[in-house]
Amino acid sequence: MTAKPFVKWAGGKRKLLKEISSLFSDNIKTKKVTYIEPFVGGGSVLFWLLSCNQKISKIIINDINSDLMNVYRVIADQPEELISVLEIFQLEYHAFRDNPEGRKNYYYTKRSSFNLRDQQQIIHAAIFVFLNRTCFNGLYRVNKKNEFNVPIGSYKTPLICDKDNIIAVSKLLKNVIILNGDYYETLKYIDQHENCFFYLDPPYKPLSKTANFNKYSNYIFDDSEQQRLKEFCSLLNEKRISWVLSNSDLKNENQENCFFDDLYKDYNINRVNVNRVINNNSKEKNIKELLITNRLDNKKSLILQN
């Protein structure tokens, strides 16, 4: 079954799936494993895993963004109801295809009602998907008051209701445990008797002051947060649990910057190539990103057993 992320999410890992999946290796196809993704975002890695591997016995996903995790829950439990609302939004929005003022009005009314956060879960999830499909570049950004503040995009008739994908995602999410909180909460779900592995994709440390800024929630992920995450990784390592962590490679901007090399000096740091837009309005550039791992076998795949 093919299911893909149902939202466009900054930092999506679609372009790095090959590199990330090669670290997971064939072990996950043959062993009984628990997969935990504490910063799931749009879920590119999750959906790739779910689509190609049915052996994983337990899956736990988490993100601190409550609006996003509400959409995951609604898709898992009430896909048909969500589709009905999105079909209406799509019809209404497309009716404004030749009426830019009407379209603008519709978008900003939906944005204001999203920011009230007083709707039923299904309606709130539908507005989230609507805004993601119609806003500028599919960006998610909130201000200090947690108000979504991205302006309208230029698409006249965007696909707002991707029915087939919602159904496919819903089926795949049936047995997934969906959490909404700080990533430390996922520790409770570690089962020492199962082979457990984590994929950690935190907000990246920005390459420079002018780099694209993506504010996923009103919680700040600064250097002290990057250090707290390293402690989390060390804790997992002590428990003999394998993990893959992605982050930016600060050496793209400054060869002397050893922040991550120092922080993760006890682990394996791989540098991989990827095309990304670094600054707003600039073209894609080929840069390096980090894939850091703890327990690798001699084929450079994660060791899964405890």
| Number of residues near ligand SAM (by CB under 6 A) | 23
Residue 65 touches ligand SAM, criterion: CB under 6 A: yes
Residue 67 touches ligand SAM, criterion: CB under 6 A: no
Q: Which is nearer to ligand SAM, 85 or 236 (CB)?
A: 236
Q: Which of residues 158-177 bind ligand SAM (CB under 6 A)?
A: none
Residue 12 touches ligand SAM, criterion: CB under 6 A: yes
Residue 243 touches ligand SAM, criterion: CB under 6 A: no
Residue 24 touches ligand SAM, criterion: CB under 6 A: no
Residue 215 touches ligand SAM, criterion: CB under 6 A: no
Stretch that binds ligand SAM, among 8-16, 86-94, 126-134, 167-175 (CB under 6 A): 8-16
Q: Which is nearer to ligand SAM, 182 or 191 (CB)?
A: 182
Q: Which residue has the tokens 């628990």?
A: 34
CA distances from 59 to 67, 71, 197 (A): 20, 17, 10
Residue 248 touches ligand SAM, criterion: CB under 6 A: no
Q: Tell me which of 6, 60, 63, 82 binds ligand SAM, using CB under 6 A.
A: 63
Q: Tell me which of 13, 124, 230, 251 binds ligand SAM, using CB under 6 A.
A: 13
Task: Produce one character per residue of 157-177: b if its CB has 16 or more CB atoms within 10 Å, e if not.
Answer: ebebbbeebbbbbbebbeebe
Start-to-end C-alpha separation, the chain: 31
Chain residues binding ligand SAM by CB under 6 A are: 9, 11-13, 38-39, 41-44, 62-65, 182-183, 201-203, 216-217, 219, 221
